[in-house]
Amino acid sequence: MAGSPTARRRRLSIELKKLRESSGFTCANVGTALDWSGSKVNRMETGTGRVQPSDVEALCRFYGVDGELREFLKSLARQAKTKGWWQAHGDGVPAWFSIYIGLEQDASTFRQYQCEFIPGLMQTPTYAAELHRATNQMSEEAIDRAVRVRMERQAKLQAVHAPDAWFVVHEGALRSVIGDRAVMREQLEKMLDMAELPSVTLQVLTFDAGRYPATGTFTMLGFPDPEDPDIVYRDGITDAIYLEGAEEVRAYTRAFDNLRAAAASPHHSATLIRSLLKEYTT
């Protein structure tokens, strides 16, 4: 079963939509039958509305579902109401980013292309704090909480069952000085350490890589249960988008494959990072 509350809510939404579609009803049909609005049913199936166990019970009776499946769905509804560890950090985690963290916690594969900054799961506390100061209107207390969350997220890459993580980072992100040279020196040293983890692959897309997809930064998350489809995540300053359509996911999968084909090998990427490290040291 999906672990984080966010992942449970997503699984519940997927299962409820499958039940409706296999029964041949529209959201409006179900809403009329249960004296709900069709939009309420839609919100349940898209994960944008809270689903109570009593709602699941009513839907299961309508669809003729009983036994273990009914209890499983009601259990998902109950567990989806709990809070994740990251939500205890208040305004250190914006609401739109909280959803992503919940999904990230359950991911078994992680693919990220980063063209502007060092990937969040590889950042040092100092680099992360400087980045927050530059891009967000946050108090120092909120920045401190945001950095703590980022550091806790990184622990997942060192866990026993760490996700298979693959990062492609544009050379420009390595050369863009965030903070000062000392901050960057510490940051590149950490990247090299992270690249040594058995679950991590790191490639640098160099300036002379030639032609490659101009996509902008994105992250792809894959999940251990085949019932949970992959998702593409892209964020901005105040919001984020989540792409789950099969065609969209395939397009980004092709883009990532092309990016890592154009990037330097992990060995040559580490060599490049070491050369930059020397530049920041002198």
pLDDT of 89 higher than 50:
yes
Going by their DSSP bridges, the two strands 109-114 and 164-170 should be labelled as: parallel
For 169, the enclosing helix (H) or strand (E) is strand 164-170
Burial of residue 282, with CB atoms counted within 10 A of its CB: 0-12 exposed, 13-18 middle, 19 or more buried: exposed
Predicted local confidence at residue 153, as pLDDT: 93
Q: Where do the domains of the chain lie, and which CATH numbers do they carry? A: 5-79 (1.10.260.40), 90-281 (3.30.870)
Predicted local confidence at residue 251, as pLDDT: 96
Burial of residue 146, with CB atoms counted within 10 A of its CB: 0-12 exposed, 13-18 middle, 19 or more buried: buried
Mind giving me the DSSP string for 256-270? HHHHHHHSPPHHHHH
pLDDT of 1 higher than 50:
no
Any residues with CB less than 8 A from the CB of 19 and at least 6 apart, and which?
59, 60, 63, 65
Q: Are 8 and 112 in contact, with CB atoms under 8 Å apart? A: no
pLDDT of 81 higher than 80:
no
Q: Are 73 and 56 in contact, with CB atoms under 8 Å apart? A: yes
Facing residues of 109 across strands? 164, 222
User: Residue 3 — pLDDT band, cuts 50, 70, 90?
Assistant: low
56 versus 88: the higher-pLDDT residue is: 56
User: Residue 175 — pLDDT band, cuts 50, 70, 90?
Assistant: very high
Average pLDDT, the chain: 89
Q: What percent of the chain has pLDDT over 90?
A: 58
Task: Tell me the whole-structure pTM to 2 decimals.
Answer: 0.79
Going by their DSSP bridges, the two strands 240-243 and 231-235 should be labelled as: antiparallel
Predicted local confidence at residue 261, as pLDDT: 96
What's the one-letter identity of residue 265? S
Going by their DSSP bridges, the two strands 164-170 and 200-205 should be labelled as: parallel
Instruction: Choose the weakest-confidence range: 72-76, 152-156, 246-250.
Output: 72-76
**Pick from 109, 86, 108, 91: which is nearest to 6 by CA?**
86
Helices (H), the chain: 5-23, 27-33, 38-46, 53-63, 67-79, 95-106, 125-135, 140-154, 171-175, 181-195, 246-262, 266-281
User: Residue 91 — pLDDT band, cuts 50, 70, 90?
Assistant: low
What confidence tens digit (pLDDT) does each residue in 207-247 have? 999 888 888 999 999 998 888 889 999 987 777 888 988 99
Q: Are 194 and 162 in contact, with CB atoms under 8 Å apart? A: no
pLDDT of 182 higher than 70:
yes
Predicted local confidence at residue 274, as pLDDT: 97
Predicted local confidence at residue 183, as pLDDT: 96
3 versus 46: the higher-pLDDT residue is: 46
What confidence tens digit (pLDDT) does each residue in 114-130 have? 999 999 999 999 999 99
